[in-house]
Amino acid sequence: MVFNAALFLALTAALWLRLHIRRRRIEARFAPIGAFVTIGGAKLHYKISGSGPDIVLIHGASGNLREWEFGLRKALEDRFRVTAFDRPGHGYSDAIAGGDHLATQAAHLRAACAALGIRTPVLLGHSYGGSVALAWAVQEKPAALMLISAPSLPWPGKLDLWYRITNTRFGRALVAPIAAALVRVAYVRRATNAVFAPQSAPPAYLDDFGAMLATRAHSLAANTAQVNALLGDIRAQMAEYPALDMPCEMIHGDADTIVPLAIHAQKLAHILPRAHLSILHGAGHMPHHAHLATVLAALARLLP
């Protein structure tokens, strides 16, 4: 019994040390690129550039604000004041109480915008970030809304096995930390390419996006909790969609297997009063990289 306890303590200490060393190495490679604002005692990492009307960019699951540094930010800076945040628990933003939920994240980002002097921005959300943008719009109407590959309505079936495991006490306590300690760069690169499929991730994206930030134990925990809560959150907010009468542009690829077009954007286009849907044939889940011109044209329609 004493031997077993000693072994358990030794393994726990080794796991903690491994997580600590990996976190330090990852953060040394992908340091913050913006500034910080403190909201309710929690630090929020953001980056502002450009001038003009405000546009707020909200990244998706397992992401961070570096998502926008591969063409979109630069393309917007001449016309907009562009603000991007690390969502709570991601990148360099602290996790927050209730941060598993869309409404709590939206309220937190709104408070940050108020502190930074940003009033009634255009919201652009990709993937899970689009769901947060919808929650924001339910709470307080933005100037306009752009949703890229965004989950918006309930879907059939279950999440994949990883999320089902990490939605259990055992998975959160043991499986997730072990995964954070052992996941390899090669696996993260394959997973990133799978998100871009059938297109390929740009080499600069694989090198500079900082996908490994999402493998730190606290970020992994935040992401799995948020994704596991997403379906219930969407069901809770969808009744408010018909009242969202601000201009809305949606961009969605018909080859997106992560957030299928037919389940989400095609149906949402008939619910939002002022929605316009651009369907990209053969495009996957990351059209703001492969089809940047389409995103810019949609923004021009929002604010002619």
**Predicted local distance difference test score (pLDDT) of residue 148:** 98
Q: What is the pLDDT of residues 69-125, one digit of tens each?
A: 999 999 999 999 999 999 999 999 999 999 999 999 999 999 999 999 999 999 999
Q: Which pLDDT belongs to residue 9? A: 64
Residue-by-residue DSSP string for 214-261? GGSHHHHHHHHHHHHHHHHHHHHHGGGGGG--S-EEEEEETT-SSS-T
Residues 43 and 16: beta-carbon distance below 8 Å:
no
According to DSSP, residue 45 is labeled E
Residue keyed to tokens 């134990």: 217
From the list 29, 22, 123, 33, the residue with the least C-alpha distance to 80 is 123
pLDDT in tens, 122-180: 999 999 999 999 999 999 999 999 999 999 999 999 999 999 999 998 888 888 899 99
Task: Report residue 147 as tokens.
Answer: 């949703």
- Distance, in Å, from the CA atom of 68 to the CA atom of 40, rounded to the nearest integer, reads 26
pLDDT of residue 3: 55
What's the whole-number average pLDDT of the chain?
Answer: 94
Residue with tokens 């709104």: 110
Q: Which residues contact residue 2 at a Cβ distance below 8 angstroms, ignoring those fewer than 6 apart?
A: none
CA distance 288 to 129: 13
Helices 128-139 and 217-237: crossing angle, nearest 10°?
A: 50
**CATH fit for domain 2-302, picks 3.40.50.1820, 3.10.310.40, 3.90.950.10, 3.40.50.300:** 3.40.50.1820
b/e per residue, 216-252, with b = 16+ CB within 10 A?
bbebbbbbbbbbbbbeebbeebbeebeebebbbbbbb
- Cα end-to-end distance, the chain, whole Å: 73
Residue 19 has pLDDT above 90, yes or no: no
Residue 136 contacts by C-beta under 8 Å, 6 or more apart in sequence? Answer: 106, 109, 110, 123, 142
Domain residue ranges in the chain: 2-302
pLDDT digits (tens, 9 = 90+) for 5-15: 666 566 667 77
Strands 122-126 and 54-58: parallel
